Amino acid sequence: MDNFKSTNTERRFKAHVSALGTTQLHLRNPYIIAWWSAAFPGFGHLLLSKYLRGYALFIWEIFVNNMANINQAMVYSFTGNIEMAKAVLEPRWMLLYIPVYIYGIWDSYRTSVDMNKVFLLAEHENANFNTYTIGALEINYLDKRRPLMAVIWSLFTPGLGQLYIHRVVTAIFTMAFMILFVYFSGILVAFHYLFLGEITQATQVMDPQWLLFIPSHVGFSVYDSYVNTVENNKLFESEQRKFLMEKYQQYRVKIPISVDGVK
């Protein structure tokens, strides 16, 4: 199916199937995309399959957030310790954080609106696209998967849901940073002490600065895997419908209609 990469006989394609995953256009709620960008910069762009932009904002968030101690300040704010929150913040990094954070929200909203328009045009053109690829490293093809299974595996370990639907790059990225967050937050050590009944020790070993990255990361993995499983299923049905109409519908039996005994 490499000919689809080198030729552009149609203006727009709804999807592309490669060894690294299935990338597709579909309708998205711009407000939901913007909300995910607000929850964690980069997530909104990853949901739009804008991977380079999403990964750049994601890594920027982790680096600048840690340098500014923003998560640590949030924890102090939640517990009512405002003076400590102000004390741990690093103003030079915090002021650098704000404009890029706002940009991530604005750009993901703007991009989702534009991509919805492109999808409607691509849906109208209904151009052919590759649905199967096989190579030395991977095999990928359109088929139907269960959204619930994607959610369950994402809850067990973020990234497994993406592997289930063959979003390889996003899966590796998600799993790698989940390992990073879990290790530096000390959450598994805290669970160990919690099972032993040592509550105080469990609280002390956790690092709030890294811990606050985990809820958004898990939530994104669940949402991303669920939505893409549903949309992949729709894409499979759409492609299958077009294939059957083009290859078989013309051969259907046409029964003559008789009117008052006259054919």
pLDDT value at residue 1 = 46
Token output for 212: 């606050």
pTM of the model: 0.86
pLDDT of residue 173: 93
Pairing of strands 21-24, 15-18: antiparallel
SS3 category, 24:
strand
Per-residue pLDDT, 52: 93
The pLDDT value recorded for residue 36 is: 96
Can you give the pLDDT at residue 6?
A: 44
pLDDT at residue 91, as a whole number: 87
CA-to-CA separations, 139 to 17, 77, 132, 133, in angstroms, rounded:
10, 49, 8, 6
- Could you give the 3-state DSSP secondary structure of residue 126? coil
The per-residue pLDDT for 256 is 66
Angle ∠(202,204,210) on CA atoms, nearest 5? 95
Rounded to 5 degrees, what are φ and ψ at 140? -140, 140
Q: Mean pLDDT, consecutive 10-residue segments, the chain of 263 residues?
A: 53 86 91 95 94 94 93 88 88 89 96 94 87 87 93 94 92 94 93 89 90 94 95 91 78 61 54
221, 40 Cβ separation under 8 angstroms: no
Identify the pLDDT of residue 95: 86
